[in-house]
Structure 1
Amino acid sequence: MPTRTIPRRALVLTAAALAVLPATALTAPARAAAAPPAAAATAATVSGPAAAVPVRFVELPDSALPTDRAPHRITFSYSNDTPTDQTIAPQILVESPQRGPFLSTSDVRLELRGTDGRWHTVPLASQTGTLYTALIPAKIVLHSGHTLTESYRLTVLHGPARGTVEPRIAVYA
């Protein structure tokens, strides 16, 4: 019988999406963690079954995981070029090398620059060698024609310093 290999990233994303379903069905609607700079997007309540799982992801340019143990800025932008408002959530994935060693949540620190100008630690989850930020607390409504710009700071604290940093945007129906 032939075997089929499922890419680790696809497995992680599917498991993460499925894990979110029961939580969103049983809890109050999610709110954005912080409003983005320059009022480009507006925090909004997102609810209902269609809002529970992203309909697609927009992959943004990735980069190698820094190896020098110094804080490194990761800044990315996403523009809503559609004629309607979009519910989106920015997400950072930190992929370990395919064959390991795998990163753990204690190996890196990820911070988000808040509207107050200060850096706030962002919790990371881990599954199958991939570290990732949660989608639900990051949901916002991005108005048509507006751009969201996010600034993160990533520091490798210890552990294997090989991997890839992959920012992306989850787009909801």
Structure 2
Amino acid sequence: MPTWKILRRALAPTALAALLAAAFTLPSQAVATGDSAPQVAAVAAPTSFVDLPDQPLPSDHAAHRITVTYRNDSSADRTVAPQILVESPDNGPFLAPADIKLEILTGGHWKTVRLASQTGTLYTDLTGAKLVLHSRHTLTQRYRLTVVKAGPGTVQPRVALYA
């Protein structure tokens, strides 16, 4: 009986994380102000991040709004992606995706955003949120966060920047 050998290539940790994030989260739509709508960009790894002010994870079960705003002040178009991170304390307890309900405002309606999890950090998908932000335009994305199961943590909005 013949045997088959399956050859596998190892993925770089960044590529693997991007694939897992894409598989476990829904794409989000962002709104850009200006004359034309944003364009969807191709898949690539971010080159840097712009961290926006963080805040403690609310301990109540009320809906809290989070607005991610980023202005492209450069003279060239820039590929960006808004992202929400919910970070657990370094030594736990670690939050699970079911502990948080995150929604995104899209087309005037709130839609649930799936969260992926890695080493105590919950995060939204970058791949589906990526768009081209034209020169001198502003990205404004609104989220609504509800804590289902309270625990310690930090909400860290940020914007991924691509080359």
Give CA deviations for 1:58-86 in whole Å, capped at 9, x if unaligned: 11110000101111001121000111000
Give the C-alpha shift of residue 35 in structure 1.
4.7
140 and 153 in structure 1: CA distance in 2 versus 1, 3 angstrom threshold: same
Q: Which residue of 1 aligns with 2:81?
A: 89
CA distance in 1, matches of 2:141, 2:76: 21
User: 5+ unaligned residues in a row in structure 2: which ranges?
Assistant: 1-11, 21-26
SS at match of 1:138: coil
- Where do residues 1-173 of structure 1 align in structure 2 (5 Å cutoff)? 15=13, 17-19=14-16, 33-36=28-31, 38=33, 42-47=37-42, 51-114=43-106, 116-158=107-149, 160-173=150-163
Aligned-residue sequence identity (percent) comes to 51
Give the drift of 1:40. Answer: 6.9
Higher share of residues assigned strand: 2
Higher-Rg structure is 2
> Runs of 5+ in structure 1 lacking a partner?
1-13, 24-31
Deviations 1:133-168 (A, max 9, x none): 01000011101101111110000001x421000000
Deviation of 1:41 (Å): 6.7
Q: TM-score normalised to the size of structure 2? A: 0.81
Q: Does the 8 Å CA contact 1:35/1:41 hold for their aligned counterparts?
A: no
Q: Is the 8 A contact 1:41 1:148 kept in 2?
A: no
Q: Distance in 2 between matches of 1:106 and 1:112?
A: 16
- Counterpart of 1:8 in structure 2 is none
RMSD (CA atoms): 2.2
Report the TM-score when normalising by structure 1: 0.77
Aligned length: 146
Q: What is the alpha-carbon distance in structure 2 between the residues aligned to residue 153 and residue 130 of structure 1?
A: 18
Residue 128 of structure 1: how far off its partner (Å): 0.4
Q: Does structure 2 retain, via aligned residues, the 8 Å contact 1:34–1:43? A: no
Q: Is the 8 A contact 1:41 1:146 kept in 2?
A: no
* Distance in 2 between residues matched to 1:72 and 1:153, nearest whole Å: 5
1:18 counterpart letter in structure 2 = A
Alpha-carbon distance in 1 for matches of 2:19, 2:147: 33
- Structure 1 residue 18: deviation in Å? 2.3
Shift of 1:42: 3.1
Q: Which has the higher helix share?
A: 1
